[in-house]
Amino acid sequence: MSEPIPEITMDPEALFREEVFTDRKAGTIRRLSPVNAMGHDDPSRTVMFIGSSQVLTPAGALPIAFELDVTSLEAAVEAFAEGARQALESTMEELREMQRQAASSIVVPQPGGGGVPGGGIQIP
């Protein structure tokens, strides 16, 4: 039996207008300005700034995104480098934790094959 398809709806009380700014080198800053369902500015909510960049790794580009706790585009530009650094440190720590968890789940074969017929390494 197939799973029912969930209904996807937008919350008219949580709409934002998105603007993207970039220097075409370090990354982008998205300014999310709250609007009402008619598309008019909603001054009862605060503007949000989201930074994003990517770091090249041996496995390819690693995207990072981070909220900038500022109130203007100028302040977002100034806070970008520190926000990116903190997001990268957090991402690297999460990756190290995932590696630790993966390493601890490795099953080590028991001497003599662990009771499995024909199992184990035999040295002549």
Cα 109 to chain centroid distance, Å, stands at 36
pTM: 0.74
Domain spans of the chain, in order of start: 15-102
30-34, Cβ contacts within 8 angstroms, sequence gap of 24 or more: 31/73, 31/76
Residue 116: the pLDDT is: 57
> Could you tell me the two tokens for 117?
């017929």
Residue 58: the pLDDT is: 86
Q: What whole-number distance in Å separates Cα of residue 115 and Cα of residue 30?
A: 59
Residue 2: the pLDDT is: 82
SS3 for 50? Answer: strand
